[in-house]
Amino acid sequence: MASITKRGNNYNVRIFDAESGKRVSQSFPTKKMAQVWANKIELKKFSGIGVVQSQDTLPEYMHGWFKTFKEPTISNTTKKRYLNTLKVVDENWEGQKISEITRTQYQRFLNRFGKHHSLASSQKLHSQIRASIRDAMDDGIITNDFTKRARISGSAGKNEADKYLDKPDMESLITELKRDVNATHPSKTMALVSLYTGARYEEVAALQWSDISEKFGTVNISKAWDADEEDFKPTKNDQSNRTVPVNKGFFDFMYQYWTSFQQVAAPDPHDLIFVTPHGKVPTSTAVNNMLHAALKRIGAKQISFHGLRHTHASYLIYSGISLYAISKHLGHANFNVTLSTYSHIFSELESRENKNLISALNSLAPNWNKGKSAGNKRSVISSFSR
């Protein structure tokens, strides 16, 4: 991108020249002349003049890009997603120079991937590859963005309604989990906490006793648990740092858990609530296995531990809680995330909300028509159409 600044009576241009590999500058008496010269230099970049095409293969470039630009700043969970993408790239693009890949080749690759994966998986794969290719373009490594205007395909994946429990099954699961609240196997109480607060697994796992306040009726969520490092890490985003209100029922089962905790808990330097008698935080796999067994016992559909968060949110939506309050409560980055995640429920409730809307309008100035004849009403209505 050229930088044009006025200096006295002249216009000075500074721009990167792909041919020389250096930033160059020149002055012109008019701004128009400066722009024309800058455009000529810029065209060299896009025509390939002076650009040494990279000899790296796509896997080589992406591995280097990942280690330089992504790995130092991302969480372990996000890192795993990138490593999955790199594995796919390794398997499909071995020996293929990044500078020689065409849009047709890349589109065929996406089509093959989409035949055996969900649309969400295809979108994630494409977004990560596209991010690296955009950087390669910016760095002058390649001149052709073969990911541009690519079409993404894939199966629909799991139905949204299958990711959460309805109210009867939610209540049955709460009853089932409360049958055995104790610190010998804390995963059941972790599930209850998620159902009552909508907290994510890593947020529940990171809770300390000091985070719970019966006096104020709240749970403070300010950190997450890194299972790989066995230590605290920041929450998913700034908005995820939040204080969640809870009811008396929450403190009832937590008091029962605390009583058991005093007897069986192992010494823990992190002062965590949910640790086994051996001093370990239940893994995501362990809590999901427990949940699947509990759901099977009550005859409910199978959902993941994260599905408890969706169940909590869905219950709030059906109860008429505002989008603003739910978004803040769940710690979403913004309201659009909440709306997008639960759009299927909001669409389902549209008919009910339309009836409420009409009811609200009907209650507006209810005495307005009193004393007016039917003829007068018709004359008013007809006047609107003129």
Quick: pLDDT tens for 22-33: 678 888 888 888
Please tell me which residue, 324 or 356, carries the higher pLDDT value. Answer: 324
- Say yes or no: 285 and 306 in one domain: yes
For residue 371, tell me if it sits in a domain. Answer: no
Does 99 share its domain with 177?
no
Quick one: pLDDT band at residue 368, thresholds 50, 70, 90?
Answer: low
Looking at 310, 328, 346, which one is the last position of a domain?
Answer: 328
Please give the Cα distance from 85 to 257 (Å, whole number): 41
Under DSSP, the state recorded for 386 is -
For the chain, what percent of residues have pLDDT higher than 90?
Answer: 60
Of 302, 328, 354, which residue is a domain's last? 328
User: Which of 160, 245, 163, 237 lies closest to 196 in space, CA to CA?
Assistant: 245
Domain membership of residue 74 (yes or no) is yes
Question: Would you say the pTM of this structure is higher than 0.85?
Answer: no
Q: Are residues 297 and 172 in the same domain?
A: yes
pLDDT for residue 242: 97
The pLDDT, as a whole number, for residue 381 is: 45
Query: What are the distances in angstroms from CA 114 to CA 107, 125, 155, 293?
Result: 10, 10, 7, 32
Task: Clarify whether residues 41 and 63 are in a common domain.
Answer: no
Task: Identify the weakest region by mean pLDDT among 79-93, 101-115, 353-367.
Answer: 353-367
Residue 242 lies in a domain: yes
Within this chain, do residues 315 and 178 fall inside the same structural domain, yes or no?
Answer: yes
Q: Are residues 292 and 185 in the same domain?
A: yes
Whether 384 is in a domain gets the answer no
User: How many CB atoms lie under 10 A from the CB of residue 337?
Assistant: 15
User: Do 39 and 69 lie in a common domain?
Assistant: no
Whether residue 34 sits in one domain with residue 7: yes
Of the three residues 303, 328, 353, the one that is the final residue of a domain is 328
User: pLDDT digits over 113-169, tens only?
Assistant: 999 998 989 999 999 999 999 999 888 888 889 999 999 999 876 666 678 999 999
Q: Are the C-beta atoms of residues 164 and 314 closer than 8 Å to each other?
A: yes
Question: Domain of 75?
Answer: 58-138
pLDDT at res. 19? 62
Is residue 302 pLDDT above 60, yes or no?
Answer: yes
Residue 66: inside a domain, yes or no?
yes
Q: Please report, in angstroms and rounded to a whole number, the separation of the first and last CA atoms in the chain.
A: 56
Detail the DSSP E strand segments found in the chain: 3-7, 10-17, 22-28, 212-213, 218-221, 224-226, 231-233, 242-245
pLDDT at 380: 47
Same domain, 182 and 317: yes
CATH number at residue 280: 1.10.443.10
| CA–CA separation, 145 and 134 (whole Å) | 7
**Number of independent structural domains in the chain:** 3
What pLDDT does residue 70 have?
Answer: 93
pLDDT of residue 329: 95
- Give a yes or no: residue 358 inside a domain: no
36 and 128 co-located in one domain: no
* pLDDT score for 157: 66
- Whether 108 and 242 map to the same domain: the answer is no
Question: Is pLDDT of 281 > 90?
Answer: yes
Query: What's the pLDDT at 384?
Result: 46
Residue 379 lies in a domain: no
Q: Which of 329, 333, 310 shows the shortest CA–CA distance to 321?
A: 329
Which residues, at least 6 apart from 340, have a Cβ–Cβ distance to it below 8 Å?
none
203 lies in some domain: yes
pLDDT for 365 beyond 60: yes
Domain holding 64: CATH number? 1.10.150.130
Residues 175 and 317 in one domain: yes
